[in-house]
């Protein structure tokens, strides 16, 4: 966990320590009968911080196809990837193999134990760089939310 990830972790903890937060959760059978975050604004914030946590990692995975593509474009050099170039112009993206909604729900299930929260975030701290074509294959497979 780097310094930025530690700061984001502290933000996540502070959200879960909010006493009024538990009023924003409801039980859903399609989510293993667990309570999930119902309020869309709060859920969005938590999902965003979960995603930002792994995006703050110093290392990402990259597919062979994407590595070759980005190298040919000159976006990877000895210092690494020029991450700010992500998007429609250069047609690559960052993908979280474990969807942030699943991570957020696991965090909520264990919100009283900071050690478990940290373990969950460390275990799911994965980002893969993909071309838009590879990302489209994932989207068509319906694996983006489970």
Q: What's 109-141 look like in SS3?
A: HCCCCHHHHHHHHHHCCCCEEEEHHHHHHHHHH
Predicted pLDDT at 37: 56
pLDDT by 10s per residue, the chain, length 146: 999 999 999 999 998 887 666 665 555 555 555 545 555 677 788 899 999 999 999 999 999 999 999 999 999 888 888 777 888 899 999 999 998 888 988 998 888 899 999 999 999 999 999 999 999 998 888 776 66
Tokens of 9: 């972790």
Phi first, then psi, for residue 122 (nearest 5°) are -65, -40
Residue 129 pairs in a beta bridge with 62, 94
Q: How far apart are CA 69 and CA 14, in angstroms?
A: 40
């Amino acid at each position: 966990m780097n310094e930025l990830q530690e700061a984001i972790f502290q933000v996540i903890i502070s959200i879960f320590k909010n006493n009024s937060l538990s009023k924003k959760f409801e039980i859903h059978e399609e989510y293993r009968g667990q309570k999930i975050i119902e309020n869309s604004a709060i859920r969005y914030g938590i999902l965003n911080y979960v995603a930002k946590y792994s995006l703050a990692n110093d290392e990402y995975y990259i597919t062979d196809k994407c590595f070759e593509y980005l190298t040919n474009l000159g976006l990877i050099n000895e210092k690494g990837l020029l991450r700010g170039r992500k998007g429609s112009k250069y047609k690559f993206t960052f993908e979280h193999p474990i969807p942030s909604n699943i991570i957020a729900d696991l965090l909520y299930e264990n919100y009283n134990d900071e050690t478990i929260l940290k373990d969950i975030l460390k275990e799911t701290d994965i980002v893969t760089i993909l071309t838009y074509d590879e990302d489209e294959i994932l989207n068509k497979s319906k694996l983006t939310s489970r």
